[in-house]
Amino acid sequence: MTEPKPRLLSGMQPSADSLHLGNYIGALLSWKALQETHDAFFFLADLHAITVPQEPELLRANTRRTTAQYIAAGIDPSRSTLFVQSQVPAHAELAWVLNTLTGFGEASRMTQFKDKAAKQGQEAASVGLFTYPILQAGDILLYQAVDVPVGEDQRQHIELTRDLAGRFNSRFGDTFTVPKPYILKDTAKIFDLQNPSSKMSKSAESHAGLIWLMDEPKVTAKKIMRAVTDTDGEVRYDREAKPGLANLLTIFAILDNRSIESVVEEFAGGGYGALKKALAEVVVGTLEPIRARTLELLDDPGELDRILGLNAERANEVAQQTLDTVYDRVGFLRRVR
């Protein structure tokens, strides 16, 4: 008999009309490879998206657009389970149970909340934004996922998930698989091209340093040519002293599937201009087919909705099983049918 494949789960928020290069490198690229070796679940985290205000029609459109980008980047919905979080009610239900097991102080230490709340102003931040990581823990635990491929910025949320799984298991008996973060070390964080001390993020004040998957190739090339570097002009990898250049070298190496050393070797002595020009070609060469395929897929929204509906059925089956066990273990009286 063949061993069942290990379970994997990951998701992104459909909170913009395009994913950015950080999402692509930090998440999608590894998802695509991992779906070969895993029983993979990928989802659109729309429940998470509404932790900050969203325009309803835009959220719906962005959910389809993000789905199309997943598929265009290589996620195969006939092999992986690709679904929308709000189409599986168990996510919100498990989150409630986990909320009751999370300490207020524990939740207060989550740095993503602190960053986002600081941007919005503490008073404007919602309680949903505060409990965001607990919903995320529920996402992972519902599917008994072993591997959770995410960027470095999500490490703390995965640690919280592990703590909550352990706490539930020791209090109510073995119920959840304790997941591992699956973070590709060096490549796990892509920085803003204009502000290379901050991660590339859709919540950045200016979008000049963000590469969007759905940008026109000309726009992408221009953003790369204008990327902030430094004044010494020497092509070498030094994350501390030359963060802008280090970020460009990282992006180059990953997308061109080679080592950072080999990129440095090729462009040493050539100055930043030549490196940027070649990088623009590599990035456009990677993203342009994804953009074109996304636009094609978006021509038939009904088909996208149908794929998501079918996949939600499978997701619901798995999630409901876990939720039933949880409800039973915590002592809820089951409805007689």
- List active site positions: 116, 199, 202
List 39, 139, 147, 215, residue binding ligand TYM (CB under 6 A)? 139
Q: What three-state secondary structure class fits 251? A: helix
The identity of residue 174, as a single letter, is D
Site membership for ligand TYM, residue 140 (CB under 6 A): yes
Contacts 24+ apart (CB under 8 A), 111-116: 111/156, 112/153, 112/156, 112/157, 116/52, 116/203
Stretch that binds ligand TYM, among 11-19, 121-129, 218-226, 257-265 (CB under 6 A): 11-19
Token pair, residue 266, equals: 């090729």
- Residue holding tokens 């994804």? 290
Q: Which one, 22 or 235, has the nearer CB to ligand TYM?
A: 22
* Residue with Cβ nearer ligand TYM (27 or 275): 27
Q: Which stretch binds ligand TYM (CB under 6 A): 57-65, 135-143, 252-260, 319-327?
A: 135-143
Considering only residues 7, 8, 11, 263, which one is a binding residue for ligand TYM as defined by CB under 6 A? 11
In the shown chain, the binding pattern of residues 192 to 221 toward ligand TYM, with x for contact by CB under 6 A and - for none, equals -------xxx--------------------
Nearer to ligand TYM, 44 or 263 (CB): 44
Site membership for ligand TYM, residue 266 (CB under 6 A): no
- Cβ proximity to ligand TYM: between 12 and 275 the closer is 12
Using rule CB under 6 A, residue 17 touches ligand TYM: no
Q: Is 323 in the site for ligand TYM (CB under 6 A)?
A: no
CB 280 within 8 A of CB 286: no
**Strand 81-84 and strand 39-44: pairing?**
parallel
Residue 138 touching ligand TYM (CB under 6 A): no
Stretch (H or E) spanning 22: helix 21-23
CB of 167 to ligand TYM, least distance (A): 18
151 binds ligand TYM (CB under 6 A): yes
Instruction: Tell which positions 19-38 bind ligand TYM, by CB under 6 A.
Output: 22-23, 25-27
* Binders of ligand TYM in range 279-318 (CB under 6 A): none
CA-nearest of 284, 275, 282, 231 to 257 is 282
- 253 lies in the binding site for ligand TYM (CB under 6 A): no
Hey, what are 292's tokens?
């074109």
Angle between helices 301-330 and 56-72 (to 10 degrees): 100
Measured from the CB atom, the residue of 23 and 62 that comes closer to ligand TYM is 23
Query: Closest distance between ligand TYM and the C-beta of residue 67, in Å?
Result: 13
181 contacts ligand TYM (rule: CB under 6 A): no
- Provide the H-helix boundaries in 73-201: 90-99, 104-108, 111-120, 127-142, 155-172
Residue 6: what residue type? P
> How many binding residues for ligand TYM (CB under 6 A)?
26
Q: What is the DSSP string of 53-98?
A: ---HHHHHHHHHHHHHHHHHTT--TTTSEEEEGGG-THHHHHHHHH
User: 88: number of CA atoms within 13 Å, CB side?
Assistant: 35
Alpha-carbon gap, residue 44 to 322, rounded angstroms: 20
Residue of the chain from 17, 93, 106, 153 that contacts ligand TYM (CB under 6 A): 153
**Residue carrying structure tokens 């073995």:** 174
Pairing label, strands 147-149, 180-182: parallel
CB of 136 to ligand TYM, least distance (A): 4
- The residue number with the shortest CB distance to ligand TYM is 26
CB of 304 to ligand TYM, least distance (A): 19
Residues of this chain that bind ligand TYM (CB under 6 A):
9-13, 22-23, 25-27, 45, 48, 136, 139-140, 148, 150-151, 153-154, 188-190, 199-201
